[in-house]
Amino acid sequence: MTLPLGISVTRDGGLLRLVLARPKANIVDAEMIAALTVALADHADAPDLKAVLLSAEGPHFSFGASVEEHLPGSCDAMLKSLHALVRQMLEYPVPIMVAIKGQCLGGGLEVAMAGHHLIARSDASLGQPEMMLGVFAPAASCLMPDRIGQSHAEDLLYSGRPVSGDRACAMGLVDATADDPGAYALTYFDAHLANKSASSLRLAVRAARGAYAARMIARLNEVEALYLNQLMATRDAVEGLEAFIAKRPAKWENK
């Protein structure tokens, strides 16, 4: 089986490139989460590193996390590993740029929002469809209100509807739109980060991001417990996931 992640270092050691490499879906499953976690950890202390660029092969960034791994028996391990990755990205010592195209949904969008600078194609589709499966999006419930405000976040989290890259940019969910988000990110790096001191940049990230990361991590710990201890004890959460896997309509009993 091929590796789920492309890893390279460019720009004289200044840029770590991570490419989700399971097109077309680029599912954020246990293997993908582990590969991202290890790659980020392996390069975090590289003295010349100034930024990370996370992108994806194929037409879509990611369809989201593995629904099968959300079922009882595997949910606890999957969710905790995904949230550990989100925490790692929130506290990462250099900026993480994320280039988004096609669909960026569910756990894929949660991973993207843990980054620093998001760029999307205008016609990308970004959303948290978890409520359609009878569950909620834990990391997004923490990250999204801070990015786009409470009202917009509640709309997207409760409805499960996606928005276009253009609409996401207007909301502040992404920071810019471009026909080629990866090329845009490289241009941004060359123009604004490549000529900076790597050591000073790391301290600037700590100064600007430290309080935000601590607040998000504390809230994520609370929401993770809500998901695992209360949501997954409900009948409808399991029904929604099983119905999706079986490709049948869910039968809600509101309990």
pTM of the predicted model, to two decimals?
A: 0.97
Structure tokens that stand for 145 in this block: 């209100």
pLDDT at 1: 54
What does the longest C-alpha to C-alpha distance in the chain come to?
Answer: 58
Tens digit of pLDDT for each residue in 208-239?
Answer: 999 999 999 999 999 999 999 999 999 999 99
Model confidence at 34, in pLDDT bands (50, 70, 90)? Answer: very high
The amino acid at residue 1 is: M
Model confidence at 73, in pLDDT bands (50, 70, 90)? Answer: confident
Model confidence at 63, in pLDDT bands (50, 70, 90)? Answer: very high
Residue 71 has pLDDT above 80, yes or no: yes
Structure tokens that stand for 146 in this block: 């801070």
**DSSP per-residue letters across 15-31:** EEEEEE-STTT--B-HH
Please give the average per-residue pLDDT across 195-207, as a whole number.
98
Whole-number Å distance between alpha carbons of 236 and 253: 7
Tens digit of pLDDT for each residue in 81-138?
Answer: 999 999 999 999 999 999 999 999 999 999 999 999 999 999 999 999 999 999 999 9
**DSSP per-residue letters across the chain:** ---SEEEEEETTTTEEEEEE-STTT--B-HHHHHHHHHHHHHHTT-TT--EEEEEESSS-SB--B-SGGGSTTTHHHHHHHHHHHHHHHHT-SS-EEEEE-SEEEHHHHHHHHTSSEEEE-TT-EEE-GGGGGT---HHHHHHHHHHH-HHHHHHHHHH---EEHHHHHHHTSSSEE-SSHHHHHHHHIIIIITTS-HHHHHHHHHHHHHHHHHHHHHHHHHHHHHHHHTGGGSHHHHHHHHHHHHTS-------
Q: How far is CA 115 from the centre of its chain?
A: 7
